[in-house]
Amino acid sequence: MALFGFSFPLVFLLLSCFTTLLLCNANAFPGHYHNPIQRHRHPRFASHNYRDALTKSILFFEGQRSGKLPSNQRISWRRDSGLSDGSALHVDLVGGYYDAGDNVKFGFPMAFTTTMLSWSVIEFGGLMKGELQNAKEAIRWATDYLLKATAHPGTIYVQVGDANKDHACWERPEDMDTPRSVFKIDQNTPGSEVAAETAAALAAASLVFRRSDPTYSKLLARRAISVFEFADKHRGAYSTRLKKYVCPFYCDYSGYQDELLWAAAWLQKATKNPAYLNYIQANGQILGAAEFDNTFGWDNKHVGARILLSKAFLIQKVRSLHDYKGHADSFICSIIPGASYSSAQYTPGGLLFKMNDSNMQYVTSTSFLLLSYAKYLNTARQVVNCGGTAITPKRLRAIAKRQVDYLLGDNPLKMSYMVGYGPRYPQRIHHRGSSLPSIAAHPAKIQCSSGFSVMRSQSPNPNILVGAVIGGPDQHDSFPDQRSDYEQSEPATYINAPLVGTLAYLAHSFGQM
C-alpha cells in the first residue's frame, strides 16, 4: 500500500522518527520544543536565544544609570538625574548606578556588581563578540564613579541618598527632591566590607581594561591597592556606625572577613605581587573560616573567594592554595541535586531556592560560579568528588544551563523573569522609573507621594526596563506580578551582573555568537 507516493513501511518509519525527535526535544526543554533547532550551526539543541538575552542583560544597566547620560544612551525613556550628588559634602559623586528600583546609590552592592561584571568579562569576554564593548561600558560607568568615591585618601563615600526618606516617595530619579545625603567611611568610621569590595571591584576592572586602556587599568590597580590598605588597616563593619542609614537595606550580615580575603584574591590576580599571596596564606584560615557557608551574593563572598583561589591552584599551580580546591568542591557538592552532602533546596519546577527576598540573585551568581569552576576543572582535567561520585565539568554546565533556562521561561508558569525577553514576562516590576510615565510622555514633575497611586495600580509599567531580571518566583514556583511585592518583583544590578558572563558562555556554546 502506498501513501502520498511512499510505501507504508517507509511512512511508518518516517513518522516514528519524527515523533521520537519531538518527544526527545520536548522532554529536554519543556514548553519550547516548537522552537527552531539550529542544527546547522551546532549539534546541541538550544531552547533559548542566549545571544538576545545577553544583549538585553547588558542593556539593563543603561536603565540604572545615574548622572549625565551620554548621547548614545539606548534606554531613551531615562534622562539625566542626580547631577548635584556629593555637593552636600563638596565632592563630585555624580554618576554610578541606582542598585534596584529606588533612587539611592548604595556603594556596597554597586562595588559587588562591578566585580561580577568584571569577572564575567575576564572569564567569558572573549566569547561576547559585539557585546564586549557594551559590557566594558557598563563596567566603566561604575568604575568612573568608584574612582570619584575613593579620590580622597583615607575616606570612601559609600552612599548617596537617605534610603528611608527615598522610600517614602515613589518618584522618577529625574524628579528626585528627597535629601541626597552623603555617607562616608574613614578611620573613625571604618567599613572594611565596603572598602574591600570596592578594592576588589577596582582590581578586577583593571584586568578588564589592561589591553584596551592600559593607562586607565593602571589607575584602577593603584587605587585598588590603596583602598585595600585602608580596609585592612582600619577594620570594622560599616553597618556599625552607619546602621541607621544602611540597615536593613545593605546591612553587613556575614562580617567583613570574607571581603578582605576576596579583595586580596583579586589584587593577587591583578598585580601578581607576592605580598597578596602571603597575605592570603597568613590570613586565609581566619578570613575564610566559614566553610559551611554556601551563599554567594553582595554580602557574602566566601564561596566566590574559594572558587577564584582554586583557579590559581588548578591553572597557575599555586600549591599553597590547595585547600581552596577542597573548599570549592564542598560548595559544588552542596548544590548538586541528589549528591552526597547536598544541602541545596530546589522548587518543584527545578529552580535553586535560597530565600524569598530576591532569590534570583543566588540563581545567577551560583550559575556563574558553576560555569567558571567547570572551565577551571576542564583546563586542569579534574573533576569534583562528592562522596565517591565523580561530578564532571559537563554536569556543572548542565546544572547552570538548567537554571538559566528556567529564568528565561522553562518553568511551570512559562514566564521569562527577564523583562523584555520572550513572549511573556513581568509587567509590573517594582521600579520607579519604569512604572511612572517618562519625561517625554509627562514633562511635568510628579510629586513625591502622588506616584504611589501608580505603584498600587494594576496597570502595566509604561516603560520597559529591557533586560531587568527580577527577584523571581517563590519556593512553589508562584509569581503574582505585583508591583508592591519588592521581594519578587524588584530588579537589581547584582542579579544581572553574573548572568552576563553565563549568557555569553551559553550563546557561544550553542553557536549563537
- Indicate which residues carry an active-site annotation: 430, 481, 490
Neighbours of 319 (CB within 10 A): 8
- Looking at residue 33, the DSSP 8-state letter turns out to be T
Alpha carbons 45 and 51: distance in angstroms, whole number: 14
Q: What does the alpha-carbon distance between residue 277 and residue 288 come to, in Å, rounded to a whole number? A: 14
Residue from 267, 289, 291 nearest 278 by CA: 267
Q: ∠394-496-80 over CA atoms, to 5°?
A: 160
Question: How does DSSP classify residue 160?
Answer: E
> From the CB of residue 244, how many other CB atoms can be counted at a distance below 10 Å?
11
β-pair partners for 470:
491
Cα–Cα dist 425/414, whole Å? 9
C-alpha cell at 477: 514556583
Please name which of 512, 510, 513, 492 lies closest in space to residue 98, comparing C-alpha atoms: 492
Of 296, 235, 224, the residue nearest 264 (C-alpha): 224
Residue 92: how many CB atoms within 10 A of its CB? 14
Dist. CA 325–CA 350, nearest whole Å: 27
- Exposed, middle or buried: residue 440 (CB in 10 Å: 0-12, 13-18, 19+)? exposed
Q: Which of 149, 150, 168 is nearest to 160 (CA)?
A: 149
DSSP output for 344-361: -EE-TTS-EE--STTTHH
Bond into 248 cis (ω within 30): yes
Lookup result for grid cell 571604618:
190
DSSP state of 67: B
How many CB atoms lie under 10 A from the CB of residue 272? 10
